[in-house]
Structure 1
Amino acid sequence: MKVAYESTATSVGFFRFWQDRFKAVARNRQLIKQLLFLSLTEQYKKTLLGSIWLVINPILSILIWLIMNYSGIYQPGETTIPYVGYLLLSMSIWLFFVSFFKHLATGVTESGRMLMEAPFEMEAKLVEKVLLNIVNFAIPLTINMVVLIIMGVSFGWSSLWFLPTLIPLMLLGISIGVFFSLIEVVFNDIYLIVNQGMNVLMFLTPVVYTTKVNSEFLQTIIYYNPLTYLISIPRDLLIGAPIEDWSGYWVSSGFALLVFVFVMHFFFNSVYKIVERIFE
């Protein structure tokens, strides 16, 4: 444990720091494969429907919005595709972001005792969690795209930019999850508050409604919310909708990258110290 701590806590240059991270991932690629396989096979092991829950969960999460929309008591704003498809796609992207937080925020607690008993590099656990979330996102996304095609939505060449433009959203989700993994191991109440706060954050982001919602209050929040651009731009690219604010996307992407770099430096310079104090 001491060796692992000293190798990461030593003050090194920016490029050396990231070089060490990539080397650690390369060294632990076999362990990452094993952890990912175990996570994929065990996450729905005790359920009757198994991996079908990857499809059921997004559908259940949008039912209330569909009921409200078709009953006329909820006006999400005009969408370029049928609202069912818009909601399916938006919720998939939102869950992609939130799942990074939920998977990573408990990573230190899950790994703490193991780190003390059989030291390994935390890069392996982080990468495994990230890959698990990507796999869990790919399955419902594929099904959603099939549904969109059935609804008459066509995909053009611009749709190919959907996945690359999701990278800043992924970096921001990873950053939030990794940062709160250090807090959760010490102050679980704060983690629980933030976990519930993610539900509130969804209502301040154009996920279940469009950026053209009537409320002036929401319009102001939408404008200054970086998630607005990190979610809406990839979504619009996929369905071929007009892109209204590339500048907001690039500013938000720069913000996400800076947060990611800062959090990773803070995490790897702190995690082993925290684990030693909590689990010794």
Structure 2
Amino acid sequence: MYKPEKISEILIKNLKEFGNPLGVPIQQINTWWKNLNLGKGSKLLFTGMIYQLAPYIAKITELLRIFEDTPFENVLHILPNTATRIISIPNKNDVQRYNGILLKIYSLLSKSDVGFYYDPALDSYTGIILHELGCDCEFQEHAKKVVERLEKSGVREIVTVDPHTTYALKKLYPQYTGVELEVFSYIELISASKVENECITLQDPCYYARYLRIYDQPRDLLRFAGIESVDVKNSKKITGCCGAPVESLSPKLSGEIAKLRYFELKETGCEIVTLCPLCLSNLSSFGDVKDIAEVLVKTI
């Protein structure tokens, strides 16, 4: 297991310098929106950068897993940012897929007549990993910067695309910044049409299901589209974790948790579908998993 204080030190430094915990320039990772009509609605589409970062996280976690519990474990934190970026070059197919999911979410919102727009200058990582590691002062500092930028641009309503970003903006930001924005997960706003009968099993993300109680909405969408949702015992507000929260500290433990969860979900015999880029990345290590946007886009 890596020392939490060393990992936190790296993440804080990267967040201050690059705006994200991995130290990758935002202009390098946030390219999915180019060549799109960015819209003129009242709600800001705020990706939070986790879909964009997921392929990089997977690559770095793979590296950390190799060195965990070896003499090299205590050396990684002294690597310069340049070296870190080189060794964390993601799989191109993964980058294409995760960018494609964002495009599908954009399409779902557009076809559902949700009045929204996207401004890459206002989109940013929320800093939630710092809160998860107990670095509350640094999280608060970053959150205030994000909120200040949004307030200056007159943003009042936000549409999010993943559970971590949704929870941060909806629950944590009011607590740490005193600013309360109206936050919607895109899954609460879109509609679906009928498709051929399918069978899926949902991996409920922890933040959506346990803390925000967003678990009936995706099932209702699937049901309306004629897709049967078959649950495992540990679902909805008692959902099982994918292992992502501990991957920066112990990739091996994270992998074991993900493996157990994947094969629990697999027992239904249905296709596994999730609503979170980190669940998608972790569970996909053991077999085929889809994002719900990849399923619902077929209904429009």
Interval of TM-score (by shorter of Structure 1 and Structure 2): 0.3 to 0.5
Is the strand fraction higher in 1 or 2? 2
Q: TM-score, normalised by structure 2?
A: 0.31
Q: TM-score, normalised by structure 1?
A: 0.33
Find the structure with the greater CA-based Rg: 1
Flag the structure with more relative contact order, 1 or 2, with Cα contacts below 8 A and sequence separation at least 6. Answer: 1
